[in-house]
Amino acid sequence: MNLKSVSILFLRLVLILVFTGAGIAKFKGLDISTPLFEALGMEPGGRYLIGFLELLTALLLLMPFSVTSGALLGWGILSGALLAHLTKVGVAGNMLPMTIAALSGWLACIALIFLQRDQIPFIRHMFDCHRDRET
């Protein structure tokens, strides 16, 4: 195994654990998710929807043929979480650990998308556009 393969496997495993745990927590109403979604005006429907999407993300990351799709979905979910923290929920106090976790997961999804960039044409072209031109 080369470094790229090991990095992809590591990121996948970490993100699978994170999204599975977060999804289950939202379905069970654990941690701070219920008050957070109440503050956003999305309780309980939004909490269940995001929990479902987080579990779907973990499932997509689990299957080798859908890793990039899972990373893209996870990036979208975490982009929404970061936006919520920056605009309505806040980033300080008891929200700081959740904000740091969301940012860390967001960066991990970006790294996984970049490492898997050859799997989705528009991303492959976005990162490799200079190779398409003849010099």
What is the mean pLDDT of the segment spanning 69-77?
Answer: 96
Range of the domain at 112: 3-132
Q: What is the percentage of the chain residues whose pLDDT exceeds 90? A: 64
Is residue 25 predicted with pLDDT exceeding 60? yes
Residue 131: its H or E element: helix 121-132
Q: Please tell me whether the peptide bond between 64 and the residue prior to it is cis, using omega within 30 degrees of 0.
A: no
Looking at the predicted structure, is the pLDDT value of residue 54 above 70?
Answer: yes
Number of domains in the chain: 1
Higher confidence at residue 54 or residue 95?
54
